[in-house]
């Protein structure tokens, strides 16, 4: 299906990289403009999955037994995952997202934490991002 819910056949599904990323960026820009720079917007209306998402992700991460110094949250949005899953575990958190408004909400939310682990906020598409060395324990 395309973004309007119309059926597409296989030959229509091939789009070039630039169109693909611009379409994604535009979609999230519209979500922000609709005032959905919030949990509802991040989860496409499925806010009720948030608690289960965080709990099951915590369980999964315990199994991985990783170092817990530095993490990069890619496509962080407003920092829902970073705040609720990563902040209690990681000392240092970087966020990366294509949408500046989402990242500003994340900055505000993090600034209210008793211990703010936020380090860098990258407003850039992942496809253009180059990490400054192998610093992350988890991406
Ligand atoms: C479904 S939301 C998830 C947000 C957050 N991870 C969460 O679970 O609450 C997807 C996020 O990916 C971001 N995004 C989409 N394409 C991206 C890209 N090419 N590079 C970086 N971020 C992107 C969007 O702006 C949006 O914030």
Nearest CA to 102 among 86, 83, 88, 89?
83
Atom 3 in ligand 1: residue holding the nearest Cα: 42
| pLDDT value at residue 65 | 93
Instruction: Give the CATH number of the domain where residue 108 resides.
Output: 3.40.50.150
* DSSP reduced 3-state for 50: helix
* DSSP reduced 3-state for 10: helix
Q: Assess if residue 11 is contained within a domain.
A: no
Instruction: Using a cut of 0.85, tell me whether the model's pTM lies above it.
Output: yes
Q: Render each residue's pLDDT in the chain as its tens digit; 139 residues.
A: 777 888 877 666 678 899 999 999 999 999 999 999 999 999 999 999 999 999 999 999 999 999 999 999 999 999 999 999 999 999 999 999 999 999 999 999 999 999 999 999 999 999 999 999 899 999 9
Q: Assess if residue 118 is contained within a domain.
A: yes
125 lines ligand 1 (CB under 6 A): yes
The count of structural domains within the chain is 1
92 lines ligand 1 (CB under 6 A): no
Q: Assess if residue 86 is contained within a domain.
A: yes
| pLDDT value at residue 122 | 98
| pLDDT value at residue 12 | 66
Q: Assess if residue 139 is contained within a domain.
A: no
| pLDDT value at residue 93 | 98
Nearest CA to 96 among 82, 108, 115?
82
117 lines ligand 1 (CB under 6 A): no
21 lines ligand 1 (CB under 6 A): yes
Residue 93 belongs to domain spanning: 16-128
E strands in 1-139: 70-74, 92-97, 118-123
């Amino acid at each position: 299906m395309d973004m309007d819910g119309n059926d597409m056949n296989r030959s229509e599904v091939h789009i070039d990289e630039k169109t693909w990323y611009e379409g994604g960026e535009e979609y999230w820009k519209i979500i922000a403009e609709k005032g959905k720079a919030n949990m509802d917007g991040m989860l496409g209306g499925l806010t009720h999955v948030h608690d289960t998402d965080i709990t099951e992700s915590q369980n999964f991460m315990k199994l991985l037994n990783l170092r817990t110094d530095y993490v990069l949250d890619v496509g962080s949005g407003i920092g829902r995952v970073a705040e609720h899953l990563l902040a209690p575990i990681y000392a240092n958190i970087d966020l990366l997202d294509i949408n500046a408004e989402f990242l500003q909400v994340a900055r505000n939310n993090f600034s209210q934490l008793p211990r703010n682990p936020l380090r860098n906020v990258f407003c850039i598409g992942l496809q253009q991002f180059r990490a400054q060395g192998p610093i992350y324990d988890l991406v």
